[in-house]
Structure 1
Amino acid sequence: MKEITSIQNPLIKNIFKLQEKVRERKKQGLFLIEGKREIELAKKGGYEITSLLFLSTVKNDNLLSEFQDVEKILISQEIYDKLAYRNTTEGFLAIAKTKSLSLSDIKLSKNPLILVAESIEKPGNIGAILRTADAANIDAVLIADAKSDLYNSNIIRSSVGCVFTNQIAIGTSEEIIAFLKEKNIQIFAATLQNSNAYHLENYTKPTAIVVGTEDTGLTKIWRKNATQNINIPMQGMIDSMNVSVAAAILLFEAKRQRNFN
């Protein structure tokens, strides 16, 4: 078992790079996971853990025995405090390998329910969307024209590990539309233009629900290629809501129609 006490250690310096720079995560194919629950979910989600970093206060934790063939590194409190964003992560950090996140890797059920999120920029919104997708137990989340790196620490943290529990693929809007049409999946685009109230539509067939940013909404390509545009009728003074809230309303209506199967 290795022990590191200095922040100047080359491995620790490299972890800081992985944490802060998208370029390094893509170049090395590695990223940092913070928290015991998140690490456990990553393992269940098929992510390969390459190193497990931990404090002396948790050296007898069962999590360590779950990773027999993984490099284990005892780190000082100073290092942990510099790397960890939260003080509620049980003294564990891990380095894991990224996945390809290709559309070709997505495995669908016979009657899939998919969420497409176009150009969502804020990591907190992406994390909340992934939590919603996990709660609804849908087939996949497809991120169109991504504005943030999926392995951003803020996304992992705000998703409370649901970045590992969902099937996720990233592509351009054109690629995702082609994928959905090839699979004969109907497309419902959440937009105000030329739309019907969401609860009037039938989501019991293979379905993709598409949501966009609160500021600009979905781009024309989605409105043009949708089977039907849908809206959530608003009864207050504003005409939009948080994208993760909208996604939850739409997904759970689809689940209700499917008798929550």
Structure 2
Amino acid sequence: MHKQITSLQNAAVKRLLQLQEKSRSRKKEGVFVIEGQREIGLAVKGGFRIRELYFCPALFSSEELQSLKGRIPSAVDITEMTGDVYEKVAYRGSTEGVMAVAAAKDLSLENILNLGPNPLILVAEAPEKPGNIGALLRTADAARVDAILIANPRTDMFNPNIIRSSVGCVFTTPVATGTTSEIIRFLKDRKIAIYGAALQASVPYDSIDYEPASAIVVGTEATGLSEEWLENTTQNIVIPMQGEIDSMNVSVAAGILIFEAKRQRGFK
């Protein structure tokens, strides 16, 4: 028999809301919340440890629960919720009636291992909007890059908005965060060429050979890359624009650049 939560005043409800809404609470406990069957499945596949499972039987069938239980450790604490309780703690408007609490991973650069001889890495400097970060993570997954590195992050990577907008792709590609200086040193130590998307001293993006170890670096739409990146790039690259403005959404630009690199590599 599962434990049950039927009251909105239950202490577990308050805790789940804190984990959803406050980065400080997530960091203090070292956990975060995942909503949705697909996202939980991707987290498990990505090596994240599920600690607790919550479900609403009116939204999530016993067959679905049994299927999910077969993919998570048997020691996981499973709790049933009434519809009004689940609706209170669910972050997403449309949801499948299942959520999990998972242990956060250390996203330090030293945990990015086994990059292989010619890695392709996507770097984003100081992305602010969770939606943009989610879109960058989806691009990284679609291209199957070897890692995505976030320099000077403005939000924690287990923010529910990032998990939602990435449709779980935060779990599918190795992710690390660090300062700009740390990431530049990480790339240079491994002799990975650094190609910065910038207008200054740039060449067309499709004139570069991306088959050797390469990192493609994108900045914010508002200010572009910082001086520190511009001083340390192997070469700056630009996407020729034919319209009235000289910038595009950062995730769109990243997709164009990364897929040119993948095209050159024969999509390997």
TM range (shorter): over 0.9
Q: Which residue matches 1:106? A: 112
Show structure 2 runs of 5+ residues with no match.
none
8 Å CA contact 2:20–2:91 kept in 1: the answer is no
Q: Which residue matches 1:26? A: 27
8 Å CA contact 2:108–2:178 kept in 1: the answer is yes
Q: Which residue matches 1:167? A: 174
183-192 vs 52-61, greater mean Cα deviation: 52-61
The SS at the match of 1:215 is: coil
Q: Matches of 2:68 and 2:125 in 1, distance apart?
A: 36
Q: Matches of 1:46 and 1:175 in 2, distance apart?
A: 25
Q: Matches of 2:48 and 2:8 in 1, distance apart?
A: 27
Shift of 1:132: 0.2
Q: Which residue matches 1:15? A: 16
The SS at the match of 1:15 is: helix
Q: Matches of 1:47 and 1:155 in 2, distance apart?
A: 16
Q: Matches of 1:89 and 1:159 in 2, distance apart?
A: 15
Q: Matches of 1:84 and 1:10 in 2, distance apart?
A: 15
Which residue identity lines up with residue 32 of structure 1 in the other structure? Answer: V
Shift of 1:89: 2.9
Q: Which residue matches 2:185? A: 178
Show structure 1 runs of 5+ residues with no match.
none
1:93 and 2:94 aligned: no
1:79 to 75, 85, 88: 85
The SS at the match of 2:231 is: helix
TM-score normalised over the length of structure 1? 0.98
8 Å CA contact 1:36–1:89 kept in 2: the answer is no
Which residue identity lines up with residue 66 of structure 1 in the other structure? Answer: R
Q: Which residue matches 2:63? A: 60
1:254 to 236, 247, 261: 261
Which residue identity lines up with residue 229 of structure 1 in the other structure? Answer: N
Q: Matches of 1:204 and 1:16 in 2, distance apart?
A: 46
Shift of 1:148: 1.1
Q: Matches of 1:142 and 1:172 in 2, distance apart?
A: 10
Q: Which residue matches 1:142? A: 149
8 Å CA contact 1:188–1:226 kept in 2: the answer is yes
Shift of 1:150: 0.4
Q: How many residues align?
A: 261
Q: Which residue matches 1:218? A: 225
8 Å CA contact 1:127–1:157 kept in 2: the answer is yes
Shift of 1:126: 0.1
Q: Which residue matches 2:122? A: 115
TM-score normalised over the length of structure 2? 0.95
Which residue identity lines up with residue 167 of structure 1 in the other structure? Answer: P
Shift of 1:40: 0.3
